[in-house]
Structure 1
């Protein structure tokens, strides 16, 4: 028998595989891989804007553009938070009804209990984080698939909104300063709502967290190869909980802005917003399989959804056909994501 020669082999050890997975999860590399999709999304946004500008003289006006940004604020903030979740390979179907429940809780804190404005707003955002924490525990500790865990939370949040509010809207007539959080114009003589500024600030914060912190780095790594990431010594369960909790904080903020915009907490709303937010994330180049994504792409996706809805309304497309158009956009976005995965 010929003895096997001693020496190094080409077999990768678990540690080297884990290191490769961590490197593959770097935000910069993920951004490069998704840059083409971002360019396509940006080009699509320009085409849609040009089309509606030609179709209606009322579209490309300062007031309407501000209306588009205002409409994109709530969905966009939801999309910012869920971007982190989807990058890990997860999903969160509870963000729409969770946002409504947070708005109801803002009504409880401020209207029913009479808390100061800052305390009520802070408690509402923390409550959103609690919803995210529960989702994270269900997914990470209990091992429930994200789709099922967050679907259950979606139904729970919808039911609690009705129970807590007594199936009736909660109005903020006694706290007019709460209404200004979203609607206050910060530029004299120009309608530029404070809510849009908050959205812009959250974009910057989300981009920094995704690209410059361990949360972003581990989100990409978990989505790229969860097993190898765990072998590298990363506590995957803990970081998943952190990411879902952070997404919940975005949900809480969206609940505050939504209730402020309407000057009331509407317990029957929210259904469908999760699909719009997820569609915005996918349109922007974030893969539903995880490991790829960017905040810039998500913002572009949120603007596309807002422009599409606004433009269809301006050219007098019936509401039912607007829903059809949004549904088609969601299907196209998911199909394009499938094509990207096949070619990867």
Structure 2
């Protein structure tokens, strides 16, 4: 049978392109964009300051992104559900204070300090879930209110100042500066939490139901999924992981930080989730994409510090990235945009 030369060339090109397309599908277009942006940023900062590539600086970046990474991972679950949690930074601050104060009040018992923080985080998460589910309050409004409320509680119990001292305790020192197989403990904590959430989302019925709720809550309800129960569980998990972030803040600073250690963390977590491909309408997002975005933000912050850029520009850059991520999402979704028609 005669095969046209043009057809043979096309078939050969198709065979070569197919593996590349499968690879891109596995990685995700959004993640490829983040990898390119990260590579360009690393090249730019590295060309301006060779200290960027020093092992100590790379470890510093890894340590710095841990707390934001934890909050961004659980923020990803919330956004996939079609909701939002603006209170994660305040829960982390409250958890930090409670951890240090409980540690001090129990004759320097780190287990009780950590347990108290986790318990408070769970209660905060359940409170958020109850306001949203039982009170039928919009998640943005509900968690905006608890952002202020939890911050107020942290300031009240601590008199608005750092409390306790954990800098001499072996457990907290190990959390802050220890390492396992040459990798700092902080990064291991982030890796374990991120891997656990990734496995849950991708391989379990719970994860598939979370995507279903965010994708189409009406269809999910008709399929027999108890949406209220899932929302309560997701916010409870978010509170617990935010408390873990607070415990790490206490370990790093050596004391409970009601506000200073957690200020602005909610914006960073939401920005990372949005940059990582989470759709604010729900039903879309990956842990891998979020972690890449967290790393991108960490490199950006570190690079600006190395280059002597005014710290205030860092907040401007993060806000600009959030706006850009949302605009790109809106353009890709094809939905009607808010505002005057053009």
Tell me what 1:124 maps to.
Answer: 117
Counterpart CA distance in 2 for 1:214 and 1:147 is 27
Tell me what 1:230 maps to.
Answer: 221
**1:167 equivalent in alignment to 2:160:** yes
Tell me what 1:246 maps to.
Answer: 237
Counterpart CA distance in 1 for 2:101 and 2:159 is 11
Counterpart CA distance in 2 for 1:169 and 1:343 is 47
Counterpart CA distance in 2 for 1:173 and 1:222 is 42
Give the TM-score, by structure 2 length: 0.86
**1:298 equivalent in alignment to 2:290:** yes
- Deviation for aligned residue 1:152: 0.7
Contact conserved, 2:76 with 2:290, CA < 8 A, in 1? yes
- Deviation for aligned residue 1:206: 1.3
For residues 271 and 152 of structure 1, do their structure 2 counterparts lie closer, same or farther at Cα, with a shift above 3 Å needed?
Answer: same
Counterpart CA distance in 2 for 1:324 and 1:187 is 36
Instruction: Output one character per residue of 1:15-34: Cα deviation in whole Å (capped at 9) or x when no partner.
Output: xxxxxxxxxxxxxxxx9599
**1:184 equivalent in alignment to 2:180:** no
DSSP-derived class of the 2:53 partner: coil
What pairs with 1:8-19 in structure 2 (closer than 5 Å)? none
Tell me what 1:326 maps to.
Answer: 318
Aligned equivalent of 1:279, options 267, 271, 274: 271
Aligned equivalent of 1:199, options 182, 190, 194: 190
What pairs with 1:81-100 in structure 2 (closer than 5 Å)? 81-100=74-93
- Deviation for aligned residue 1:141: 2.0
DSSP-derived class of the 1:316 partner: coil
**1:102 equivalent in alignment to 2:98:** no
Give unpaired runs (5+ residues) of structure 2: 1-23, 337-342
Counterpart CA distance in 2 for 1:34 and 1:70 is 25
Instruction: Output one character per residue of 1:171-197: Cα deviation in whole Å (capped at 9) or x when no partner.
Output: 324752243243233258x6x421111
Contact conserved, 2:167 with 2:251, CA < 8 A, in 1? no
Counterpart CA distance in 1 for 2:115 and 2:166 is 19
Instruction: Output one character per residue of 1:266-302: Cα deviation in whole Å (capped at 9) or x when no partner.
Output: 2122231101011101111111110001010010011
- Deviation for aligned residue 1:343: 7.3
Instruction: Output one character per residue of 1:75-125: Cα deviation in whole Å (capped at 9) or x when no partner.
Output: 000011111100011000000111000101101210134363223212312
Residues paired across the two proteins, number? 312
DSSP-derived class of the 1:286 partner: coil
For residues 229 and 33 of structure 1, do their structure 2 counterparts lie closer, same or farther at Cα, with a shift above 3 Å needed?
Answer: farther
Counterpart CA distance in 2 for 1:130 and 1:235 is 21
CA-based RMSD of the aligned residues comes to 2.0
Divergent runs of 4+, >3 A: 31-34
Tell me what 1:57 maps to.
Answer: 50
Contact conserved, 2:88 with 2:147, CA < 8 A, in 1? yes
Bigger drift between 332-341 and 311-320 goes to: 332-341
Counterpart CA distance in 1 for 2:244 and 2:324 is 29
Contact conserved, 2:100 with 2:166, CA < 8 A, in 1? no
Instruction: Output one character per residue of 1:167-224: Cα deviation in whole Å (capped at 9) or x when no partner.
Output: 1201324752243243233258x6x421111111112111111112233111100000
